[in-house]
Structure 1
Amino acid sequence: MLGMGICTFNVQMKGKRAQGTIFGLLFIILSIVVYTAEISGSMISFIMGLLACVAVILMVADFEEMFSRGMDFLAKYTMPIFLMHTLFAAPLRSVLLKVGVTNAVAHVVLGLGISFAGPIIAAWIMKKTKWMEFFLYPNKLIRKVS
Protein backbone atom coordinates (compact mmCIF):
# COMPACT_ATOMS: atom_id res chain seq x y z
CA MET A 1 0.00 0.00 0.00
CA LEU A 2 2.76 2.40 0.93
CA GLY A 3 4.74 1.62 -2.21
CA MET A 4 1.68 2.10 -4.39
CA GLY A 5 1.09 5.50 -2.83
CA ILE A 6 4.70 6.52 -3.44
CA CYS A 7 4.41 5.56 -7.12
CA THR A 8 0.95 7.03 -7.64
CA PHE A 9 1.75 10.41 -6.16
CA ASN A 10 5.33 10.47 -7.53
CA VAL A 11 6.85 11.14 -4.11
CA GLN A 12 10.54 12.03 -4.29
CA MET A 13 12.40 10.05 -1.65
CA LYS A 14 15.94 11.40 -2.12
CA GLY A 15 17.38 13.65 0.56
CA LYS A 16 14.83 12.72 3.22
CA ARG A 17 17.17 10.83 5.53
CA ALA A 18 16.66 13.39 8.33
CA GLN A 19 12.89 12.98 8.19
CA GLY A 20 13.36 9.21 8.19
CA THR A 21 15.54 9.44 11.28
CA ILE A 22 12.89 11.58 13.00
CA PHE A 23 10.18 9.07 12.11
CA GLY A 24 12.43 6.27 13.37
CA LEU A 25 13.05 8.00 16.70
CA LEU A 26 9.35 8.74 17.01
CA PHE A 27 8.61 5.06 16.36
CA ILE A 28 11.08 3.97 19.06
CA ILE A 29 9.72 6.45 21.61
CA LEU A 30 6.10 5.52 20.87
CA SER A 31 6.98 1.83 21.02
CA ILE A 32 8.37 2.27 24.51
CA VAL A 33 5.32 4.28 25.60
CA VAL A 34 2.87 1.76 24.11
CA TYR A 35 4.74 -1.17 25.69
CA THR A 36 5.10 0.35 29.17
CA ALA A 37 1.51 1.65 29.23
CA GLU A 38 0.33 -1.76 27.96
CA ILE A 39 -1.72 -0.16 25.20
CA SER A 40 -3.01 -2.59 22.60
CA GLY A 41 -5.27 -2.48 19.62
CA SER A 42 -5.23 -3.09 15.93
CA MET A 43 -5.25 0.63 15.07
CA ILE A 44 -2.21 1.30 17.27
CA SER A 45 -0.39 -1.66 15.70
CA PHE A 46 -1.25 -0.45 12.20
CA ILE A 47 -0.09 3.11 12.87
CA MET A 48 3.15 1.90 14.49
CA GLY A 49 3.83 -0.44 11.57
CA LEU A 50 3.18 2.35 9.08
CA LEU A 51 5.47 4.69 11.01
CA ALA A 52 8.26 2.10 11.02
CA CYS A 53 7.88 1.45 7.28
CA VAL A 54 7.98 5.16 6.45
CA ALA A 55 11.09 5.59 8.61
CA VAL A 56 12.94 2.73 6.92
CA ILE A 57 11.95 3.80 3.40
CA LEU A 58 13.03 7.40 3.97
CA MET A 59 16.35 6.39 5.54
CA VAL A 60 17.21 3.81 2.86
CA ALA A 61 16.17 5.86 -0.20
CA ASP A 62 19.48 7.76 -0.31
CA PHE A 63 21.46 4.53 -0.52
CA GLU A 64 19.74 3.38 -3.72
CA GLU A 65 22.81 3.76 -5.95
CA MET A 66 25.02 1.95 -3.47
CA PHE A 67 22.73 -1.08 -3.19
CA SER A 68 21.13 -1.08 -6.64
CA ARG A 69 22.67 -4.38 -7.83
CA GLY A 70 21.62 -6.20 -4.69
CA MET A 71 18.13 -4.70 -4.79
CA ASP A 72 17.77 -5.58 -8.47
CA PHE A 73 18.68 -9.18 -7.60
CA LEU A 74 16.16 -9.32 -4.75
CA ALA A 75 13.49 -7.63 -6.89
CA LYS A 76 13.60 -10.57 -9.31
CA TYR A 77 12.70 -12.90 -6.46
CA THR A 78 10.08 -10.80 -4.68
CA MET A 79 7.19 -13.17 -5.43
CA PRO A 80 9.01 -16.38 -4.40
CA ILE A 81 10.24 -14.71 -1.20
CA PHE A 82 6.72 -13.47 -0.44
CA LEU A 83 5.15 -16.86 -1.11
CA MET A 84 7.71 -19.13 0.55
CA HIS A 85 9.47 -17.26 3.36
CA THR A 86 7.29 -18.84 6.03
CA LEU A 87 7.83 -22.32 4.58
CA PHE A 88 11.53 -21.93 5.36
CA ALA A 89 11.56 -19.74 8.50
CA ALA A 90 9.02 -21.66 10.60
CA PRO A 91 10.71 -25.08 10.28
CA LEU A 92 14.09 -23.49 10.99
CA ARG A 93 12.71 -21.99 14.18
CA SER A 94 11.28 -25.37 15.21
CA VAL A 95 14.62 -27.09 14.55
CA LEU A 96 16.54 -24.43 16.49
CA LEU A 97 14.20 -24.84 19.47
CA LYS A 98 14.45 -28.67 19.31
CA VAL A 99 18.25 -28.44 19.25
CA GLY A 100 18.14 -26.07 22.24
CA VAL A 101 19.06 -22.77 20.60
CA THR A 102 17.01 -20.11 22.38
CA ASN A 103 19.14 -17.06 21.63
CA ALA A 104 16.86 -14.44 20.03
CA VAL A 105 19.69 -12.99 17.93
CA ALA A 106 20.44 -16.39 16.41
CA HIS A 107 16.75 -16.93 15.64
CA VAL A 108 16.38 -13.52 13.98
CA VAL A 109 19.61 -13.66 11.96
CA LEU A 110 19.19 -17.27 10.82
CA GLY A 111 15.46 -16.75 10.24
CA LEU A 112 16.03 -13.71 8.04
CA GLY A 113 18.79 -15.48 6.16
CA ILE A 114 16.73 -18.58 5.40
CA SER A 115 13.67 -16.43 4.60
CA PHE A 116 15.58 -14.93 1.69
CA ALA A 117 18.02 -17.67 0.69
CA GLY A 118 15.54 -20.57 0.83
CA PRO A 119 12.95 -19.11 -1.55
CA ILE A 120 15.63 -17.85 -3.95
CA ILE A 121 17.22 -21.31 -4.16
CA ALA A 122 13.77 -22.90 -4.54
CA ALA A 123 12.95 -20.42 -7.34
CA TRP A 124 16.21 -21.33 -9.14
CA ILE A 125 15.28 -25.01 -8.94
CA MET A 126 11.72 -24.32 -10.06
CA LYS A 127 12.94 -22.25 -13.00
CA LYS A 128 14.95 -25.24 -14.25
CA THR A 129 11.76 -27.30 -14.46
CA LYS A 130 9.05 -25.41 -16.34
CA TRP A 131 6.12 -27.26 -14.84
CA MET A 132 7.23 -26.26 -11.31
CA GLU A 133 7.66 -22.63 -12.33
CA PHE A 134 3.90 -22.58 -12.91
CA PHE A 135 3.41 -22.36 -9.12
CA LEU A 136 5.31 -19.05 -8.98
CA TYR A 137 4.49 -17.44 -12.32
CA PRO A 138 1.40 -19.07 -13.85
CA ASN A 139 0.93 -16.21 -16.32
CA LYS A 140 4.21 -17.01 -18.06
CA LEU A 141 2.98 -20.46 -19.00
CA ILE A 142 -0.68 -19.61 -19.56
CA ARG A 143 0.18 -16.90 -22.13
CA LYS A 144 2.26 -19.36 -24.15
CA VAL A 145 -0.64 -21.80 -24.37
CA SER A 146 -3.26 -19.21 -25.38
Structure 2
Amino acid sequence: MKYLRTSLILIVTLLAGCAGKPEPGLYEEIGGSETLSKVFGLSINRIYNDPVLGPHFEGVPKSHLRKMLTEQTCALIGGPCEYTGKGMRESHQERNVTEAEFYRLVEHVQQAMRLIGLSFEQENRILAALAPLKEDIIYQAR
Protein backbone atom coordinates (compact mmCIF):
# COMPACT_ATOMS: atom_id res chain seq x y z
CA MET A 1 0.00 0.00 0.00
CA LYS A 2 2.88 2.35 0.88
CA TYR A 3 4.47 1.60 -2.50
CA LEU A 4 1.21 2.35 -4.33
CA ARG A 5 0.73 5.67 -2.52
CA THR A 6 4.35 6.70 -3.25
CA SER A 7 3.90 5.74 -6.92
CA LEU A 8 0.67 7.75 -7.18
CA ILE A 9 2.31 10.81 -5.62
CA LEU A 10 5.21 10.50 -8.05
CA ILE A 11 2.89 10.16 -11.07
CA VAL A 12 0.73 13.14 -10.01
CA THR A 13 3.86 15.24 -9.46
CA LEU A 14 5.24 14.32 -12.88
CA LEU A 15 1.92 15.04 -14.60
CA ALA A 16 1.58 18.38 -12.85
CA GLY A 17 5.09 19.31 -13.97
CA CYS A 18 4.29 18.43 -17.58
CA ALA A 19 1.04 20.36 -17.52
CA GLY A 20 2.88 23.50 -16.46
CA LYS A 21 5.10 23.51 -19.55
CA PRO A 22 3.25 25.03 -22.51
CA GLU A 23 3.73 23.65 -25.97
CA PRO A 24 6.13 25.80 -27.99
CA GLY A 25 4.31 28.30 -30.17
CA LEU A 26 4.93 28.77 -33.85
CA TYR A 27 7.44 31.55 -33.19
CA GLU A 28 9.64 29.26 -31.07
CA GLU A 29 8.98 26.25 -33.28
CA ILE A 30 10.45 27.91 -36.38
CA GLY A 31 13.47 29.39 -34.63
CA GLY A 32 12.21 32.88 -33.82
CA SER A 33 13.20 36.20 -35.34
CA GLU A 34 16.42 34.79 -36.78
CA THR A 35 14.42 32.47 -39.03
CA LEU A 36 11.91 35.16 -39.94
CA SER A 37 14.73 37.53 -40.85
CA LYS A 38 16.21 34.86 -43.14
CA VAL A 39 12.84 34.28 -44.80
CA PHE A 40 12.32 37.97 -45.45
CA GLY A 41 15.91 38.57 -46.50
CA LEU A 42 15.58 35.95 -49.24
CA SER A 43 12.10 36.99 -50.31
CA ILE A 44 12.92 40.72 -50.38
CA ASN A 45 15.84 40.12 -52.73
CA ARG A 46 13.52 38.22 -55.06
CA ILE A 47 10.77 40.84 -54.75
CA TYR A 48 13.07 43.78 -55.50
CA ASN A 49 14.41 41.94 -58.56
CA ASP A 50 10.92 41.03 -59.76
CA PRO A 51 10.06 43.29 -62.74
CA VAL A 52 6.41 43.49 -61.68
CA LEU A 53 6.87 43.93 -57.94
CA GLY A 54 10.15 45.83 -57.75
CA PRO A 55 8.70 49.19 -58.81
CA HIS A 56 6.26 49.11 -55.87
CA PHE A 57 9.22 49.24 -53.49
CA GLU A 58 11.16 52.13 -55.01
CA GLY A 59 12.49 54.31 -52.23
CA VAL A 60 12.01 51.65 -49.55
CA PRO A 61 15.34 50.44 -48.14
CA LYS A 62 15.59 46.65 -48.11
CA SER A 63 16.88 46.66 -44.53
CA HIS A 64 13.88 48.67 -43.32
CA LEU A 65 11.37 46.42 -45.09
CA ARG A 66 13.10 43.30 -43.75
CA LYS A 67 12.99 44.68 -40.19
CA MET A 68 9.32 45.64 -40.44
CA LEU A 69 8.23 42.33 -41.98
CA THR A 70 10.19 40.38 -39.38
CA GLU A 71 8.75 42.46 -36.53
CA GLN A 72 5.18 42.29 -37.76
CA THR A 73 5.25 38.56 -38.48
CA CYS A 74 6.90 37.88 -35.13
CA ALA A 75 4.08 39.72 -33.36
CA LEU A 76 1.40 37.96 -35.41
CA ILE A 77 2.69 34.43 -34.74
CA GLY A 78 3.06 34.78 -30.99
CA GLY A 79 6.59 36.09 -30.64
CA PRO A 80 7.73 38.74 -28.18
CA CYS A 81 8.02 41.47 -30.83
CA GLU A 82 6.00 44.62 -31.03
CA TYR A 83 5.33 45.94 -34.52
CA THR A 84 6.54 49.54 -34.74
CA GLY A 85 5.76 50.25 -38.39
CA LYS A 86 2.90 51.99 -40.10
CA GLY A 87 -0.46 50.34 -40.61
CA MET A 88 -0.86 48.36 -43.81
CA ARG A 89 -3.49 50.68 -45.29
CA GLU A 90 -1.32 53.74 -44.67
CA SER A 91 1.89 52.22 -45.99
CA HIS A 92 0.26 50.82 -49.14
CA GLN A 93 -2.25 53.53 -50.05
CA GLU A 94 -0.11 55.08 -52.80
CA ARG A 95 1.30 51.81 -54.12
CA ASN A 96 -1.83 50.58 -55.96
CA VAL A 97 -1.09 46.88 -55.35
CA THR A 98 -3.36 44.53 -57.31
CA GLU A 99 -4.57 41.18 -56.07
CA ALA A 100 -2.37 39.41 -58.64
CA GLU A 101 0.68 41.34 -57.42
CA PHE A 102 -0.18 40.53 -53.82
CA TYR A 103 -0.25 36.80 -54.60
CA ARG A 104 2.97 37.10 -56.59
CA LEU A 105 4.65 38.54 -53.48
CA VAL A 106 3.21 35.73 -51.35
CA GLU A 107 4.78 33.22 -53.74
CA HIS A 108 8.21 34.77 -53.18
CA VAL A 109 7.73 34.50 -49.42
CA GLN A 110 6.58 30.87 -49.75
CA GLN A 111 9.63 30.00 -51.84
CA ALA A 112 11.90 31.56 -49.21
CA MET A 113 10.21 29.59 -46.42
CA ARG A 114 10.74 26.37 -48.35
CA LEU A 115 14.37 27.21 -49.10
CA ILE A 116 15.21 27.63 -45.43
CA GLY A 117 13.43 24.40 -44.53
CA LEU A 118 10.14 25.34 -42.92
CA SER A 119 7.51 22.63 -43.15
CA PHE A 120 4.39 23.01 -45.26
CA GLU A 121 2.35 23.20 -42.05
CA GLN A 122 4.56 25.95 -40.58
CA GLU A 123 4.39 27.84 -43.86
CA ASN A 124 0.59 27.65 -43.86
CA ARG A 125 0.34 28.77 -40.23
CA ILE A 126 2.52 31.81 -40.95
CA LEU A 127 0.53 32.68 -44.07
CA ALA A 128 -2.74 32.29 -42.15
CA ALA A 129 -1.48 34.83 -39.60
CA LEU A 130 -0.56 37.26 -42.39
CA ALA A 131 -3.69 36.72 -44.52
CA PRO A 132 -5.91 39.29 -42.75
CA LEU A 133 -3.47 42.03 -43.86
CA LYS A 134 -4.45 41.46 -47.50
CA GLU A 135 -7.53 43.65 -47.25
CA ASP A 136 -5.45 46.71 -46.35
CA ILE A 137 -2.67 46.03 -48.85
CA ILE A 138 -4.62 45.54 -52.09
CA TYR A 139 -5.63 48.71 -53.86
CA GLN A 140 -9.29 49.50 -53.78
CA ALA A 141 -10.87 52.80 -54.70
CA ARG A 142 -11.03 54.29 -51.25
Relative CO higher for 1 or 2, CA cutoff 8 Å, sep ≥ 6? Answer: 2
Which category describes the TM-score, using the shorter chain as reference length? under 0.3
TM superposition score normalised by structure 2? 0.26
Structure with the greater alpha carbon radius of gyration: 2
